[in-house]
Amino acid sequence: MGSCFAEHLSVRQLACGASANHYHASMERLTQQLAFVLELNKLKTVLRHTELADSSRRENTAEHSWHAALMALLLAEHANEPIDASKAAKMLLVHDVVEIDAGDTLLYDEKGNIDKQEREQKAADRLFGLLPPDQAQELRAVWDEFEAAESPEAKYAHAIDRFAPCMLNLASNGSAWAKNGIRYEQAYAKNAKIGDGSLVLWEQAQTILKRARIEGFLK
């Protein structure tokens, strides 16, 4: 009987130990997740060059990411190919996380774009590295897919990412274009990639750019 009791006690101790280990692992995972979530709050302080539609101020990266993700869901029917709209939205929620470290680089800034990829890759390593390994791998894969711009969802997400600033620039009377001295030819060349993901949105973008030129918002 003593032997049975000792065996039973040992099993209970092992169970308690396993439960304690599981609890500590769960708390460690939560700590990593919350550290990443808190770090994401910094996106609200990263100012982009594009202003809000009412020209009251510059938008921040968190606002842009949310707006673009919602646009991706709403406009999915206009993608060139059948896509998983939720996947494209997920890409747009994640794509600019790296700006916490790398900052926002103006699309037309030739000097700033020279080392943009290197800065953003380094930022991705640090930021996604805050997460538990499985989630770090998952979100990094989403970010890498967006950067590669090869899948239908990534091409569409890029189209949304470029179309959104065009739309806001026209609504704000070309404020960001004017402040940065952007020419019509520059805007046309840089935004032509919208057509890779959505010819419908590229047609709309061309209408926006032509109107901006007529109104004098683009040189």
Domains of the chain, CATH where assigned:
40-215 (1.10.3210.10)
How many of the other CB atoms lie within 10 Å of CB of 27? 10
What would the pLDDT profile of 15-74 be if each residue is shown by its tens digit?
666 677 877 888 999 999 999 999 999 999 999 999 999 999 999 999 999 999 999 999
C-alpha–C-alpha distance, residues 138 and 85, integer Å: 18
**% the chain with pLDDT above 90:** 85
- pTM for the whole structure: 0.89
The answer to whether 85 and 128 are in contact (CB under 8 A) is: no
- Spatial CA neighbour of 80 closest among 195, 204, 165, 163: 195
Q: Reduced to 3 states, what is the DSSP secondary structure of residue 167?
A: helix
